[in-house]
Amino acid sequence: MAEKWLVGVDIGGTTIKLAFISEAGEIMTKWEIDTDKSNNGQQIPTDIAKAIQTKLIELDQQKEKLIGIGIGAPGPVNFHDGSIEVAVNLGWKNFPLKALLEQELGLPVVVDNDANLAALGEMWKGAGEGANDLIFVTLGTGVGGGIISSGKIVHGINGAGGEIGHVTSVIEGGAPCNCGKKGCLETIASATGIARLAVEAITSTETPSQLRELYNEQKNLTAKQVLDAAREEDELATKVIDQVTLHLGLALANLSNGLNPEKIVIGGGVSKAGDTILQPVKEQFARFAFPRVLDGVEITIATIGNDAGVIGGAWLAKTSF
């Protein structure tokens, strides 16, 4: 019997990543299409269906080759019907993604949050190395997360499990977050947060820094510029990254004291800084974690990067159908 394939789909704000993946978790082929956000993203399920059908024809394969589709979308998912409750950057509200895609393709579809899928991908084929108890945190434009306990994603009562980015870090006087709260971890440890803290430090202190000239030229900074300067031991950049990793290490230690994970995996664009982020996070984590929790855990940088979402989607399809 010929081997069947799983389909992983990862819907992002600018592109949709798709892959055909073997049951062993190997990517057979992967590609991406543009995210069509016109008309509140109504066209997206049709675009995904067409992309899959076109790729099957291209590879001279029948639809019967596919077991099912695991799909990740930004925003809270209603697990009863596979709809997306709200995805602000796509214009979706109570959007029946599963129903529409099943109708278009005639294949079973399972939907989850994109950060949860990335967590599953890292668990199955990445830095998680099969760990059944894992915290995945992604540091990008925002801070996303996925928590895996005993091999299962923690969804909670209404799908908001794993919202690591909204752990409160600054109790009073924190910066406003998109979620409506103030002082969330996301306002500090995201790429946006890192840049904001650096600009604040430049405008409110006299600390010497190579970033000052950049800021005067650009009137802004990127997280990458701050992280690069910190790697070169720039005084101001180092202070900013110390602040970021203090809050990240504390939040991860607090979560870990409740979960006792085997692995903590840090992904997203900011994680590309490697040891510049990882070492100070480990030091702060060690201060705040219960000793036995500290003994049990390994903190590591994500390894499969942009493929984590589609691989996680395939895992979800494999374990659902």
Give the tens place of pLDDT for each residue, 289-299.
999 999 999 99
On whether both 110 and 227 belong to a single domain, the answer is no
Give the global pTM: 0.91
> What's the rounded mean pLDDT across residues 271-298?
98
Same domain? For 98 and 247 the reply is: no
Q: What is residue 180's predicted lDDT score, i.e. its pLDDT?
A: 93
Give the total number of structural domains in the chain.
Answer: 2
- 165 and 250 within one domain: yes
Q: Are residues 203 and 60 in the same domain?
A: no
Strand blocks (E) in the chain: 5-11, 15-22, 27-34, 66-73, 77-78, 83-87, 92-95, 109-113, 134-139, 143-149, 152-153, 263-267, 298-301
**Spatial contact of 53 and 60, defined as CB atoms under 8 Å apart:** no
Q: For residue 47, is pLDDT > 90?
A: yes
Residue-number span of the structural domain to which 251 is assigned: 130-302
Inter-residue contact 311 to 7 (CB < 8 Å) = no
Strand partners, 109: 69
Whether the pLDDT of residue 129 is over 90: the answer is no
Does residue 2 or residue 260 have the better pLDDT?
260
User: What integer is the mean pLDDT of 106-135?
Assistant: 94
Q: Quick one: 78 and 111 in the same domain?
A: yes
Residues 270 and 316 in one domain: no
Mark whether 44 and 162 lie in a shared domain.
no
